[in-house]
Amino acid sequence: MEDNDVSDAMEVVVTKTHQPPAVVKIEIPYSSQREAEVVRNSLQVDREPKRSGSSKVFSIKENILCVNVYSPERSDHQMFGN
């Protein structure tokens, strides 16, 4: 992906829940559906460690990569802020 292919108005949307199971929803727009698919295919091969209990679900809505991270413990999502 070249720099000029990335939208100047890139907006990343992060939504969190604070009740178990904790859910972090991330939406990242790309300049095309194909780019979003390439990124999804690269990321979804990495599995979570068994001890974490977390899981990720990837989906594509047009040119937007959607990632839902589910965790039985809210503390597992501290990297996303409070």
| Per-domain residue ranges of the chain | 3-80
Q: Please list, residue by residue across 7-31, b when 16 or more beta carbons sit within 10 angstroms of its beta carbon and e when fewer do.
A: eeeeeeeeeeeeeeebbbebbbbbe
Confirm or reject CATH 3.40.50 for domain 3-80, answering yes or no.
no
Collapsing DSSP to helix, strand or coil, 19 comes out as: coil
pLDDT tens figures, 18-28: 666 778 889 99
What angle (nearest 5°) sits at the alpha carbon of residue 37, between those of residues 36 and 38? 95
Structure tokens at 8: 């100047």
pTM over 0.85: no
Task: State the Cα–Cα distance between residues 14 and 36, nearest whole angstrom.
Answer: 17
Report the percentage of the chain scoring pLDDT > 90. 32
- Among 2-6, 59-63, 66-70, top mean pLDDT goes to 59-63
**Helical H segments across the chain, by residue range:** 33-43
Average pLDDT over residues 37-64: 86
Task: Indicate if the pLDDT at residue 12 is higher than 70.
Answer: no
Report the percentage of the chain scoring pLDDT > 70. 61
